[in-house]
Chains A and B, each alone.
Chain A
Amino acid sequence: MDFLIFKAPMLMVQASLDGILLGILFALIAYGMALQWGVMNIINIAQGDLVILGGYIAYTMYLAGIHPAWGVIVAPIIMYFVGVLLYKLVINKVVDRDLFISILATFGIAIVFQQLMNFVFGADVVVAQSEYGTTMLFDNSVTLPNSKIFSAFISVLYAVALVVYMKKSRLGRAIRATAQNARAAKILGVDTEKVYAATFGINAALCGIAGALISITLTLHPYVGLPYTVRSFMIVIVAGLGNLPAVAISGMGLGLFEEFADYILGTEFRIGAVFMLLVFILVYRRFKLSKKREYLK
């Protein structure tokens, strides 16, 4: 029974496609995390809660009679300003400080966000309906929800747009310069304060997009942010900072790993397996670093 997946090849296809589509979505969230981690050296525990807030924006639109898919345009705009505001209120005080302080600060933000969302949107689990239907493959034995395909497509689209933006635009160059050496960038006339605010805003916007996509593919609840934080943390740890292709690949890898862990180890170990993998990777990295005598930036 446990190894049903090896008896039915179509299950393998189904699991792989499910995993990859989900992984692309995780990669988008992780990319935001990698970006602000790289630029500001901040690990944002509130990442998942920003995602859920984005989801609630799409859900509110759905309640108002607007198709929730428009959330992928509206949510990032709102979330950008939420991000900038957060930066001005809290984050600017913890940039350049000890990593531990930033973890504490963002942990606090996460709690405040959860309670606020609970207060405003209620503690019920909610879903938004996209009515996108289903794609059937291989004589109906593999089914893919179109909403998942849509969300993977949108994620890729935004990720590509962001890469181009980072390469070509003035702000993108300033962000990359600040990431490489904040002091030097400052001397050369980059307003690092502005760069930080924009980076945090962009991260929040990416979370907003992911949240809007989650509202039509999965479910929303004020307290489900943390698993998204953990997954993106994990992807970034594997991929390293500032390496988009690696983030994308490790995102898909994680999605696949989760699906296969579900079939082989059992559903109850699905999330546990992710945590185990995280521990394993951290230990492995540490081992490798101690050999090379380098330091992790």
Chain B
Amino acid sequence: MNKLVKLFTIFISAITLTLASISSSFAKVEGEYIVLGSAISLTGKYSSNGVHTQNGYNMAVERINKMGGVKVGGKSYKFEIIYYDDESNPKRAAQLAERLIKQDGVHYMLGPYSSGLTKAIAPVTEKYKIPMVEANGASRSLFTKGYKYLFAVLSPANQYLEVAIDLAVEKNGGKPVKIAQAFEQDAFSQDVRLGILDAAKRTGSTIIIDDKLPKELNDMAATLAKVKAVKPDVLVVSGHTKGALTAIRQISEMKVDVPMLAMTHCDAAKLSKQHGKKSEYALCASQWHKNLSYKDKFFGSGKKYDKDFKKEFGYAPPYQSAESSAALLVFKDAFERANSFDRDKVRDALKTTEMQTFYGNIKFGPGGQNVAKPMILFQVRCKGDVCENKVVAPTKWASDKFYHPIPKWSERS
């Protein structure tokens, strides 16, 4: 019996060793495949957005491969991605990044979901000099650390709601406004807050309520009671999906009247579906909307992407999927311009990226953030019981007029 166990152990270790040696030969490029690696949240608290990210990546891989792949040195290559589940845990994500690079021999990385996890992975990719194109880490602190191998296709978090303050000032006849704000205490929301502080300073506006929401919070009645008492011109809330849902629930229940309400994460929270008419007139920051007029040859327009994505995955693509797809387009473009698989050449090519995708224009600033694409704002508008997100700013893409001020609750049916 004992012998059998020993034999079995030897057998298993032999297999493991062979597998390990095979996988380490899986370098950057395997035959006709360019191998990319990504740690992604398939379980745990970010799992729904993790899946949106993965679907976005997969959709782009399939499309690029089908349309001729990546041409380097006169030969055509296909993309392939190795995924590991990071369980929504930053420590695990960093370990997996190490594993992808050291064991699987991956030379190019795609980002995980969320700023927190990107922050955990970036030092690892930086250490091994692995270029990473990420699509879901917007925190400003990612772009101030001097990372040389990190590129983000999305606009940084501090830009999310700055436009909303400008809009409020514009509606106030160019005069400064009174701002009430409530932000969760996490990297992303605090960056959004910094953006508001900048905008307030620039426009001479005053912040009359500045609440920080703890991350366990699911009741903001006290903040809203204060808002009711001091009557600001604009209320800004950012606390991920929980913040958005809690805010709308309690604003409608407590009948808080504000002329303007600006938020983040409305589409991730499925506000218009979960709260219906109660969420009407809420103004939401978004990285992307299908109605924007950007185009590329792989996905066509935003509308076409929306249609194809629905066909493939059975639901409308949130912006997390669109930006993830765009990350692959950026990689393809960089490989072809570098015309090499040398990591540093690819990195240099990434650095000089200047292109348009269905998701928006992409050009990287010195910190790696995308400086070519503005944030957009949409407003929830309802017809009968059906509510939709309508783009209202910037004016270039606005499909609908911004409705201001929000009618009082006593006048709403």
Chain A residues within 8 Å of B, Cβ to Cβ: 1, 4, 8, 10-11, 14-15, 18, 22, 115, 118-119, 122-127, 129, 134, 136, 140-141, 143, 145, 147, 218-219, 221-224, 226-227, 259, 262-263, 266-268, 270-272
Chain A residues with CB below 8 A from B46, complex form: 123
Chain A residues with CB below 8 A from B47, complex form: 118, 122-123
Whether A125 touches B269, Cβ cut-off 8 Å, given contacts A15-B225, A118-B43, A224-B218, is yes
In the complex, whether B293 has a CB less than 8 A from a CB of chain A is no
Whether A218 touches B219, Cβ cut-off 8 Å, given contacts A266-B212, A270-B214, is yes
Binds A, one of B247-255, B359-367, B380-388, B389-397: B247-255
In the assembled complex, the Cα of A262 lies from the Cα of B221 at a distance in Å of 10
User: Could you say which of A127, A226, A227, A267 contacts B275, with CB atoms under 8 Å apart?
Assistant: A127
In the assembled complex, the Cα of A141 lies from the Cα of B43 at a distance in Å of 44
Chain B 144-187 interface 0/1 with A at a Cβ cutoff of 8 Å (1 = within) = 00000000000000000000000000000000000000100100
Apart from A122-B48, A140-B255, A145-B254: 17 A-B pairs, beta carbons within 8 A = A1-B209, A14-B225, A18-B225, A115-B43, A118-B43, A119-B43, A123-B46, A123-B48, A123-B88, A141-B228, A143-B253, A145-B253, A218-B219, A221-B45, A263-B226, A268-B185, A270-B217
Which residues 259-302 of B sit at the A interface, judged by CB distance below 8 A? 269-270, 274-276
Chain B residues with CB below 8 A from A268, complex form: 185, 211-214
In the assembled complex, the Cα of A124 lies from the Cα of B213 at a distance in Å of 19
In the assembled complex, the Cα of A293 lies from the Cα of B13 at a distance in Å of 60
B48 touches A262 (CB 8 A): no
In the complex, whether B372 has a CB less than 8 A from a CB of chain A is no
List 6 A-B pairs, minimum CB-CB distance, nearest first: A145-B253, A268-B212, A262-B222, A267-B211, A123-B47, A143-B254
B246 touches A218 (CB 8 A): yes
Chain B residues with CB below 8 A from A270, complex form: 214, 217, 222
Chain B residues with CB below 8 A from A223, complex form: 45
User: Could you say which of B222, B242, B255 contacts A18, with CB atoms under 8 Å apart?
Assistant: B222
A222 touches B45 (CB 8 A): yes
B48 touches A127 (CB 8 A): no
Which residues 202-252 of B sit at the A interface, judged by CB distance below 8 A? 208-209, 211-214, 216-223, 225-226, 228-230, 240-242, 245-246, 249-250
Chain A residues with CB below 8 A from B48, complex form: 122-124
B45 touches A123 (CB 8 A): yes
In the assembled complex, the Cα of A8 lies from the Cα of B222 at a distance in Å of 13
Chain A residues with CB below 8 A from B269, complex form: 124-125
User: Could you say which of B229, B245, B255 contacts A4, with CB atoms under 8 Å apart?
Assistant: B229
In the assembled complex, the Cα of A124 lies from the Cα of B228 at a distance in Å of 29
Chain B residues with CB below 8 A from A227, complex form: 216
Output the least CB separation between B246 and chain A (Å).
Answer: 6
Whether A125 touches B216, Cβ cut-off 8 Å, given contacts A14-B225, A267-B222, is no
Whether A11 touches B218, Cβ cut-off 8 Å, given contacts A1-B208, A143-B253, is no
B245 touches A127 (CB 8 A): yes
Whether A219 touches B242, Cβ cut-off 8 Å, given contacts A11-B229, A123-B46, A124-B270, is yes
A259 touches B242 (CB 8 A): no
In the assembled complex, the Cα of A226 lies from the Cα of B45 at a distance in Å of 14
In the complex, whether B44 has a CB less than 8 A from a CB of chain A is yes
Chain B residues with CB below 8 A from A147, complex form: 253
In the assembled complex, the Cα of A222 lies from the Cα of B44 at a distance in Å of 9
Chain B residues with CB below 8 A from A271, complex form: 214, 216-217
In the assembled complex, the Cα of A125 lies from the Cα of B209 at a distance in Å of 26
Chain B 88-124 interface 0/1 with A at a Cβ cutoff of 8 Å (1 = within) = 1000000000000000000000000000000000000
A118 touches B249 (CB 8 A): no
In the assembled complex, the Cα of A18 lies from the Cα of B224 at a distance in Å of 12
Output the least CB separation between A171 and chain B (Å).
Answer: 35
Chain B residues with CB below 8 A from A262, complex form: 222-223
In the assembled complex, the Cα of A276 lies from the Cα of B341 at a distance in Å of 56
Chain B residues with CB below 8 A from A22, complex form: 219
Chain B residues with CB below 8 A from A143, complex form: 228, 253-255
A126 touches B219 (CB 8 A): no
In the assembled complex, the Cα of A259 lies from the Cα of B249 at a distance in Å of 18
A219 touches B246 (CB 8 A): yes
Look across to chain B and name the residue whose beta carbon is closest to the beta carbon of A8: B229
Which residue among A124, A145, A259 has the maximum number of chain B CB atoms within 10 Å of its CB? A124
B230 touches A267 (CB 8 A): no
Chain A residues with CB below 8 A from B230, complex form: 4
Whether A11 touches B226, Cβ cut-off 8 Å, given contacts A124-B241, A267-B217, is yes
In the assembled complex, the Cα of A145 lies from the Cα of B47 at a distance in Å of 32
Output the least CB separation between B218 and chain A (Å).
Answer: 5
Whether A129 touches B275, Cβ cut-off 8 Å, given contacts A118-B43, A267-B182, A267-B223, is yes
Output the least CB separation between B276 and chain A (Å).
Answer: 8
Chain B residues with CB below 8 A from A4, complex form: 226, 229-230
A224 touches B216 (CB 8 A): yes
A-B contact pairs, 20 of them (CB 8 A): A1-B208, A15-B222, A118-B45, A123-B45, A124-B241, A134-B254, A143-B253, A145-B253, A219-B218, A219-B245, A219-B249, A221-B242, A226-B216, A263-B222, A263-B226, A266-B212, A267-B182, A267-B223, A268-B185, A271-B214
A266 touches B249 (CB 8 A): no
Output the least CB separation between B212 and chain A (Å).
Answer: 4
In the assembled complex, the Cα of A218 lies from the Cα of B219 at a distance in Å of 7
Chain A residues with CB below 8 A from B276, complex form: 129
Whether A272 touches B44, Cβ cut-off 8 Å, given contacts A4-B226, A11-B226, A140-B255, is no
Which residue among B43, B47, B221, B276 has the maximum number of chain A CB atoms within 10 Å of its CB? B221
In the assembled complex, the Cα of A267 lies from the Cα of B229 at a distance in Å of 16
Chain B residues with CB below 8 A from A266, complex form: 211-212
Chain A residues with CB below 8 A from B225, complex form: 11, 14-15, 18
